[in-house]
Amino acid sequence: MKRLLYTVMTLMLAFVVTGCGEKKDTDVRAELEEKVSKLEGYKATGKMSLKTGAVPQEYDVEIWYQAPNNFRVDLKNVNKEQSQIILRNAEGVYVLTPSLNKSFQFQSDWPKNGGQVYLYQSLVEDIIKDKKSKFKTTKKSYIFETKTRYANNQTLPIQEISINRDTLAPEYVKIMDKDHNVLVEMTFKKVEFNPKFGKNDFDVKKNMTGAQLEKPIDEEDENTSFDIRYPAEEVAGAVLVGEKVVIEGDKEQVVLTFSGNGKSYTLIQSKAEVAKTVSTTMQIGDPLDLGFTIATATDHSISWTYDGIDFMLASNDLTREELIEVASSVQISAAGK
């Protein structure tokens, strides 16, 4: 009898040990997919660090999501005290720049049209879609190394995503180049699943007003001069061949022309103006996250505002990826050229 009891207990112990073994990547993918499918919403905060330009940048990021299609991403540049808000609600997709009293509306599928480093669903989709991803576990985390789906994924093709084992919340994302150098890192500080939202939390006017109360609109400077910015990247041998100043009314524009090896493009820049009243402009194209700012992208152009300057990059020769590569590198002034 004792021998029989010992045998039964041994078998039960073996079953428990086997059942509590490490989960496979397929198990974790299934759990993540189920988590997202049942998600009513979340609020998250974190910090994003960029090393893709001449000067490293840091951003405080706040993310809200309310099922099925309401999104709010607030990006604040830590050093320059600038902010942008990306909103998606029933009326469309908006990019708000409170310091300039401006908002832009897009007819866009964002955020479904590409990977987003700060959106939980996007990271889970990256994990699920890449069946050849690398997988490992620690005591507290599931860690996946996957391909990226970002706009500049040729330059940044790899990412490491860490997921908390207990809550399945994102912990960090590291985006790397082909040599595994980390150029973008998003660290999540706090994630709250299924929070409560107010009726107007995703309203354009409320978010613009709230951001401006937090940081007043920049005073308009009568001085129209500014430091000219140059791309740090040479694309396919294209070099600077022309630089001129164009005056239209009281607005000064600097036009840079690049050419070489069948590749040419134009970069126009001018001082950004603060709108006297809140204005919303319909944009043709899609919102594009350059890392340091949100831009507007079409097949042949990218336009954005950064550090008080409006930029417009256009080319019939460059691919979309090459346009993004050039735009992402325009962060240095004439003194740093």
Query: What does pLDDT average to in each consecutive run of 10 residues of the chain (337 residues)?
Result: 49 44 88 97 96 81 97 88 90 92 91 90 96 95 95 85 98 96 96 96 93 66 74 85 90 94 94 83 88 90 92 95 89 47
Task: Kindly report the CATH number assigned to the domain that includes residue 95.
Answer: 2.50.20.10
Q: Are strands 41-50 and 182-193 parallel, antiparallel or unpaired?
A: antiparallel
Domain end residue (candidates: 214, 248, 264): 214
pLDDT value, residue 114 = 83
Non-local (6+) Cβ contacts of 223 within 8 A are: none
Task: Kindly report the CATH number assigned to the domain that includes residue 305.
Answer: 3.30.200.100
Q: Which residue has the tokens 């990826």?
A: 321
Measured CA to CA in angstroms, residue 243 lies from 249, 253, 327 at distances of 20, 11, 17
Token pair listed for 61: 């990021």
Note whether 280 and 98 are within 8 A (CB).
no
By residue range, what is the domain housing residue 257? 229-272+298-336
Cα Rg of the chain, angstroms: 24
Cα–Cα dist 256/306, whole Å: 17
Measured CA to CA in angstroms, residue 120 lies from 39, 65, 193, 298 at distances of 10, 9, 11, 26
pLDDT value, residue 274 = 87
- Does any domain span residue 277? no
Q: Residue 127 gets which letter from DSSP?
A: H
- Does any domain span residue 132? yes
- Reported residue count of the chain is 337
pLDDT value, residue 219 = 57
Cα–Cα dist 172/142, whole Å: 11
Write down the H helix ranges in the chain. Answer: 2-19, 25-37, 120-129, 204-214, 320-328
- The domain total for the chain is 2
pLDDT value, residue 223 = 58
pTM of the complete model = 0.85
